[in-house]
Amino acid sequence: MKYLKKNYYIRHILIQKKKYDLEHVTPYIQRHAKKKFNFKNNKDLSHIRITLDYKSDLKIISKIIRHFDFKIDIFLKDIEIFFQRLRS
């Protein structure tokens, strides 16, 4: 799971002129980050896909947003439960 702070994104990525860096955020961060952290989770959460590459992704993200009543702070555990219910 990758985590980045919003201010870092705004300051360093949005000011970039390279189209590649605007479309692919992670490589830019990997090249320019002063500190790097790896977060390890003992649970396999690979079935949880939260990315916006396809129309189907937008549908899932919209369901998540509506389910959590447009809250900004959503915990991973809550999303995990949401996906479990979605799969059943």
Count: domains in the chain: 2
Residues 33 and 47 in one domain: no
Residues 46 and 32 in one domain: no
pLDDT digits (tens, 9 = 90+) for 3-61: 555 566 566 655 655 777 667 777 777 777 777 777 788 888 888 888 888 899 899 88
**C-beta atoms surrounding 21 within 10 Å:** 19
Please give the residue range of the domain that contains residue 58. Answer: 41-88
pTM: 0.53
Note whether 8 and 15 are within 8 A (CB).
no
**C-beta atoms surrounding 10 within 10 Å:** 10
Residues 77 and 49 in one domain: yes
Note whether 9 and 25 are within 8 A (CB).
yes
Q: Which residues of 33-66 are buried (b: 16+ CB within 10 A; e: fewer)?
A: eeeeeeeeeeeeeeeeeeeeeeeeeeebeeebee
